[in-house]
Structure 1
Amino acid sequence: MRTSYIIYLLLFSVFLTACQQQEYVKINGQTMGTYYTLQFKPESQSVDGLSAQVEQRLEQLNQNLSTYIDDSDLTTLNRSVGRRCFKVSQDTLAVVSEALRIHQLSDGAFDPGLGPLIELWGFDKKQINNQVPADELIKERQAMINFTDTQVRQEQGCIVKGNDLLQINLSAIAKGYAVDELIAILEQQYGIQNYLVEIGGELRVNGNNAHNKPWTVAIESPDPGSRSVQKVITPIDMAVATSGDYRNFFEKDGKRYSHTINPISGYPIEHKLASITVLHPSTMTADAMATTLMVLGEKAGKDFAQQHNLPVFMIIKSDDGFKEYYNDAFKPYLKSATQ
Structure 2
Amino acid sequence: MQDDGGRCGSFRDQDFPDGDRRRIRISPDLRPVPWLSQDDVQKMELLAEGEPVSKARVPAHGQVLRVELDPPAHQQPSPQRGSPEPGPGQRRPETHKERCQQGLCSLVKRTDDWFEVVAFHLDRVLGLNRSLPAVLRTFRSEILPYRYTSGTPRPVVWWDPGIQHLADEDNDQNSVPLSWAQYQKLLRLRCGGSAPCGGVQHSEWGRLALFDFLLQVSDRLDRCCCGFTPEPTELCVENRLHAKCGRAQELLLVHILVRKAEPSRLVFIDNAGRPQQSSSNLNFRLVEGIDEFPERAVSVLQSGCLESLLLRSLYSDRELWDSRGGAGGLRPLIRTLEHRGKILLQHVRDMKLQLKRDL
Both structures adopt the same fold (TM-score exceeding 0.5):
no
Q: TM-score, normalised by structure 1?
A: 0.29
Q: Which has the higher strand share?
A: 1
Structure number, greater radius of gyration: 2
Q: TM-score, normalised by structure 2?
A: 0.28
Q: Which has the higher helix share?
A: 2
